[in-house]
Every structure is written in C-alpha cells, then in structure tokens.
C-alpha cells in the first residue's frame, strides 16, 4: 500500500502531489485498468507485435 506522511510545515497540496507521483511511478493504476477487462493471450500477443512494429518504425525514422 502506498502512503505519504505529511512533513512538518508541508502543505497538503504538496503532499497530495507527492502521493500522485508515487502512484504513477508504481504503475498501480495501469495494473488496475488492465485487470478491469480480460484480454485473450492471442490479443495480447497481437498488441505486443503492433507495439514493436511502431517502435521499430520510430527508431528507423530517428536514425535518418
């Protein structure tokens, strides 16, 4: 569980920002969203293949 202790002389807004940063770095929300809906393994492989193709195209474009 992620938690933030509010330090002395620290505003609540700053503590909330630290908490949000910790949540995004831990990828907790990404995992939660992925678990909301089941995806078949074949669909996961297909999406991974599409992602790798996109990344390869981007790398080739940046090299020129």
Could you give the count of Cα atoms lying within 13 Å of 58 in the half-sphere of its Cβ? 6
Whether residue 32 lies inside any domain: the answer is yes
Whether residue 4 lies inside any domain: the answer is no
Nearest to 27 by CA among 2, 46, 4: 2
Q: How many domains does the chain have?
A: 1
Whether residue 3 lies inside any domain: the answer is no
| pLDDT single digits (tens) 31-55 | 999 899 999 999 999 999 999 999 9
0.75 surpassed by pTM: no
Q: Which residue has the tokens 């949000």?
A: 20
- Give the residue numbers spanning the domain of 21: 12-63
Whether residue 7 lies inside any domain: the answer is no
Whether residue 58 lies inside any domain: the answer is yes
Whether residue 41 lies inside any domain: the answer is yes
């Amino acid at each position: 569980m992620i938690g933030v202790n509010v330090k002395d002389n620290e505003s609540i807004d700053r503590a909330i920002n630290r908490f949000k940063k910790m949540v995004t770095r831990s990828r907790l929300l990404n995992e939660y969203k992925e678990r909301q809906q089941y995806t078949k393994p074949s669909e996961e492989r297909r999406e991974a293949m599409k992602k790798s193709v996109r990344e390869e195209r981007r790398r080739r474009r940046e090299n020129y």
